[in-house]
Structure 1
Amino acid sequence: MNDGFHRQPHAVLDLPSRGQKAEKIAMLTGIRRMSSPVSLLEVGTGSGGIAHYFAHLPGIKVDVDAVDVVDSRLLHDGYRFTRVDDVLLPFGDDSFDVVISNHVIEHVGDRAQQVSHLRELRRVLKPGGIVYLAVPNRWMLVEPHYRLRFLSWLPHRLRTPYLRLRGRGDYYDCEPLERRELEELAREAGLSYRNISVSGFRATLAIEGDKGPLARILHAMPDRVLSTLESAIPTHIYLLAHDEARLATRVGVRGAVVDVDL
């Protein structure tokens, strides 16, 4: 989007957290049960921690490509990296079994650019493949990039003035999404989708361990109860595919990831 400002990459360079994030993505995509070798693309490489994790995943060969608009990598080995200038991907159609877009779509620009991002993910995805997509929920209490409460709740025109008023920056360069908006974008891009935010929440607790009494209470709730709170979960997590049939083999009716061979 040509808005006169340079969008920041906002890369997370904390390698231990990237390892935990990669483990969650592995759980939610079921990559360990896929037929080896698996071709994987990570869009938005950041530190390289997630690409490195999958390139060295025990028990299965994962052939990893990664792209980003800047090179912020701390880990370089085991995968191929390509710098890109925009949402266009330098790969042929039907190239990858798994595509990861983890907290990327909110950085690519306006709605048109977000749709273009999703269309590119669909284009490079094999017909039987899966996209893992995560994006901050617009209605999260604390905006994660600038650490300001209610920043993304504001109308778009007020976000930059509020950011400046609080001394956190000159321009709000992110576009977090409501669940409805994200699903509309997926449909416009020709992608089927399933919301797996509840499964993502449970996976986070399993990987990160004790998160305090509130998290333990939420973890004890059945899926049908947690699903009513999806709009309040800070991160939307979706699996996307070319068609609904592919998702039906991977995700239960309430968005729970099921254990099936892929």
Structure 2
Amino acid sequence: MNGASHDAVRQPHAVLDLGSRTAKALKIERLLDLQARSQPLRLLEIGTGSGGIAHYFATHPSLRCEVDAVDVVDNRLTTGDYRFQQVEGVALPFADGRFDVVISNHVIEHVGDASAQAQHLREIRRVMHPDGVGYLAVPNRWMLTEPHYRLMFLSWWPRSLRTPYLRLMGKGTFYDCEPLQLGQLERMLTAAGFRHRNLCIQALRETFEIERPAGGATKLLRKIPDGLLRPFRRIIPTLIYRIEKKQPWAESHAG
């Protein structure tokens, strides 16, 4: 961010809770159906944070994964069993088509403006194998409470008013995130050359099954068909997508 003040430096906002990262990794494993894919899996995690997700896959008892991880800041609490590189910006230091699985979990809202976000997606596509699969999660702009600053309605304001509102409420000096809306994200994914599938409902179900398998809310959720939940996708707090490369034939014959 050229010319930015110290207050305007973007923070990593890493989740430094290894227990929650294990649950998150299990959810990613299930949503991408990784057990059904050929192994070993070459896996990349972008925005490694505590290292919990990378460690989960690198030490998985039944999946054979060769794991690389990158981040702009080294906040790792677990450092073994996977390769780590500290990077600058959104460029990835890997060859084209190298990875079978690419994970971008709550990263794209931190990389910068729309141009940087688009480049982040292009880099994911570039390093993904033609038959690879990706997991992309980003906070929904229309979430009730912004997760990084614990402030209701923060991301609902126009961009120019988010930092003043943050300061007014005494929660910080600069709002350094760019959450996305469902339609906006899907247009970006299409423009970057991805086929994409919204996994919000499946992710909601998996979260309850993993974290509260015997809970009343989980039992109730099992009885609700997807069709009744689908209209709420636009306001679910986290937008989650399975992404795959569009192949050249499909691109040239689209429409």
Under TM normalisation by the shorter chain, which class is it? over 0.9
1:27 equivalent to 2:30? Answer: yes
Q: Distance in 1 between matches of 2:9 and 2:86?
A: 17
Q: Distance in 2 between matches of 1:179 and 1:211?
A: 31
Q: Residue 51 of structure 1: which of 35, 40, 54 is its match?
A: 54
1:196 corresponds to:
199
Q: 1:116-160 CA distances to partner (integer Å, 9 max, x unpaired)?
A: 000000000000000100001110100000000000011111100
2:227 corresponds to:
224
Q: Which amino acid aligns with 1:34?
A: R
Q: 1:82-122 CA distances to partner (integer Å, 9 max, x unpaired)?
A: 00001000000000000000000000000000000000000
Instruction: Compute the displacement of 1:218 (Å).
Output: 4.0
Q: Contact 1:205 / 1:211 at 8 angstroms: preserved in 2?
A: no
1:207 equivalent to 2:210? Answer: yes
Q: Residue 109 of structure 2: which of 106, 109, 134 is its match?
A: 106
Instruction: Compute the displacement of 1:232 (Å).
Output: 1.7
The DSSP-based 3-state class of the residue aligned with 1:59 is coil
The DSSP-based 3-state class of the residue aligned with 1:199 is helix
Q: 1:188-228 CA distances to partner (integer Å, 9 max, x unpaired)?
A: 21111110110000110110015965565444210111111
- The ranges of structure 1 where at least 4 consecutive aligned residues each deviate by more than 2 angstroms after the TM superposition are 210-220
1:71 corresponds to:
74
Q: Distance in 1 between matches of 2:209 and 2:38?
A: 25
Q: Distance in 2 between matches of 1:57 and 1:35?
A: 15
Instruction: Compute the displacement of 1:32 (Å).
Output: 1.6
Distance 1:194 1:233, change over 3 A: same
Pick which of 186-195 and 40-49 moved more.
186-195
Q: 1:8-61 CA distances to partner (integer Å, 9 max, x unpaired)?
A: 000000110001000000101111221111000000000000000000111121
Distance 1:244 1:20, change over 3 A: farther
1:145 equivalent to 2:148? Answer: yes
Q: Which amino acid aligns with 2:58?
A: A
Distance 1:160 1:117, change over 3 A: same
2:253 corresponds to:
none
Q: Distance in 2 between matches of 1:3 and 1:209?
A: 47
The DSSP-based 3-state class of the residue aligned with 1:75 is coil
1:158 equivalent to 2:145? Answer: no
Q: Distance in 2 between matches of 1:168 and 1:244?
A: 45
The DSSP-based 3-state class of the residue aligned with 1:118 is helix
Q: 1:47-80 CA distances to partner (integer Å, 9 max, x unpaired)?
A: 0000000001111210000000000000011100
1:86 equivalent to 2:124? Answer: no
Paired residues in the alignment total 245
Q: Distance in 2 between matches of 1:240 and 1:168?
A: 34
Q: Contact 2:140 / 2:179 at 8 angstroms: preserved in 1?
A: yes
- Aligned Cα RMSD in Å? 1.6
Q: Distance in 2 between matches of 1:64 and 1:142?
A: 33
Q: Contact 1:218 / 1:226 at 8 angstroms: preserved in 2?
A: no
2:237 corresponds to:
234
Instruction: Compute the displacement of 1:187 (Å).
Output: 1.4
Unaligned runs of 5+ in 2: 249-255
Q: 1:157-177 CA distances to partner (integer Å, 9 max, x unpaired)?
A: 110000001111110000000
Q: TM-score, normalised by structure 1?
A: 0.90
Q: Distance in 1 between matches of 2:111 and 2:247?
A: 26
The DSSP-based 3-state class of the residue aligned with 2:123 is helix
Q: Distance in 1 between matches of 2:70 and 2:11?
A: 16
Q: Distance in 2 between matches of 1:61 and 1:3?
A: 45
Pick which of 120-129 and 209-218 moved more.
209-218
